[in-house]
Amino acid sequence: MFDWSHEQGWRRPLAISAGFVLIAFFVIVGAIGLALGVTLAGLLALPPLHQLKKLLPLELPLAVFLIFIAWAWLSMRWSTYPQSEQAWKMALGVVLYSLFAYAVWSLQGKARLLALYAAAISLVLILLAYFGITFLGVLSLLYGDEPVFAVRTRDASRGISALVCAVPVGWAFCHMLFPDWRGKLAAVLVGLLAFAISWQYGLSAGMLGIMVAGVLFAAGWFYPRTTILLVGLAAVLSFMLSPILISTLLSMIDKTFLPDSWAMRVDMWHFAIARIEEKSLFGWGLDASRSFTDTYSFKSLDLPNISLHPHNFGLQLWLETGLIGVSLFSTATLMLAIRVSSSWNLGRLQGAAIAGSSGAFLVFMFLSFGAWQEWFWACAAWVAAMCFLVGPAPDKLTKELPDR
């Protein structure tokens, strides 16, 4: 029997492995508790103090990101939304979620292998669960009442979105566990199944996310460093230029031909851009999107001008934190892309997984979720942790060729 104390003790690898299974459960039930799962796993797998000291001095991207959080915290002083717990969630979240990702990254040897198997099994469980829910009618059996069924299917869209972001890591796991034609076939099946689940739920952002992730995964396989850097640049441009880009997009769209959910986004984006122009330097303050509760008429319905958030990450950054906040967040994003793309032990498979998952995240950031939703930030830490497992241990060199 393997002696865990010979390597890193039994607590951390078992806590992380159990954490991956717990996270899978939260993803399956709608991802709303994903932040709790990542937090619990990170705390239970907390590395020893002498290892945590390696995080200091702070990496520059993290340092700039913490400055952004401080600015968002300061913006509460002029926010039009009176409640302030969101700033605490952001400050605590960035620490707790990072602990989980760091705990996974620092694993070595058989402890790392155990975590990899647990992560792969957790993804299989998520896929099988959503397959049953989607195609075998499990949800209809559990929730026959139509209003309850509608709520459950809406909640499931979060979990499916988390699954889509993790699919590129699933492709990488398939390649690692079955390094021949079986691995390629398994990866194709994973992608097709995730796409079919998104299709069945009408999650157009999920379908687009799978396609974007597939293109970037392929590009990242051949040119990992260049692809990751380009994805980072695309993210920065989408944040910094979002009012201009979306205004241009809206000028070319006739919303009468759009589904209702997309037509409502058009109205929200128009309204958000108008408010951004009024306070473009400092923004309206953290969580101010929730304060625009005046309604407008849409197909004989009275709807809020913004439904909780603008459904675009860049617009929400501009609206609530202004040019200063957008600049800080974009700077941290670009620094992170440079840091990851220049990593000395970045391999092709890991680069492909990072590029593909980052592309899927960008799709959801551009089209769907609020900028400060805890489950989405925790999802990023979960996917990042699995991307770490795809690459070599921190004390190992990769034998793969550098990006050309």
Residue type, 370: G
Tell whether 271 is covered by a domain.
Answer: no
Cα 238 off chain centre by: 16
Helix locations, 178-203, DSSP H: 181-200
What is the torsion angle, in degrees rounded to the nearest 10, for the CA atoms of residue 372, residue 51, residue 228 and residue 213? Answer: -60
The Cα 232–Cα 363 span in angstroms is 13
The predicted pLDDT at position 20 comes to 97
Residue type, 49: L
The DSSP-derived string for 262-311 is: HHHHHHHHHHHHHHHHHSTTT-S-TTGGGG---EEEETTEEEESSSSS-S
The predicted pLDDT at position 86 comes to 81
Tell whether 227 is covered by a domain.
Answer: yes
For 101-115, what is the mean pLDDT?
Answer: 90
Tell whether 105 is covered by a domain.
Answer: yes
- Find out whether the peptide bond into 224 is cis, omega within 30 degrees of 0: no
Tens digits of per-residue pLDDT, 286-317? Answer: 988 888 877 777 666 677 777 778 889 999 99
The reported pTM is 0.90
Tell whether 290 is covered by a domain.
Answer: no
Question: Under DSSP, is residue 373 helix (H, G, I), strand (E, B) or coil?
Answer: coil
Count of domains in the chain?
1
The predicted pLDDT at position 4 comes to 44
Q: How many C-beta atoms surround the C-beta of residue 151 within 10 A?
A: 13
Q: 54 lies in which domain range?
A: 8-241+312-390
Tens digits of per-residue pLDDT, 176-229? Answer: 999 888 999 999 999 999 999 998 888 889 999 999 999 999 999 999 999 999
Tell whether 178 is covered by a domain.
Answer: yes
The Cα 289–Cα 25 span in angstroms is 31
pLDDT at 89 over 90: no
Tell whether 350 is covered by a domain.
Answer: yes
Tell whether 279 is covered by a domain.
Answer: no
Give the side-chain half-sphere CA count within 13 A for 147.
0
Nearest to 276 by CA among 314, 327, 303, 332: 314
Tell whether 41 is covered by a domain.
Answer: yes
Residue type, 45: A
Q: How many C-beta atoms surround the C-beta of residue 395 within 10 A?
A: 9
Alpha carbon distances (Å) from 58 to 40, 55, 369: 23, 6, 29
pLDDT, averaged across the chain: 85
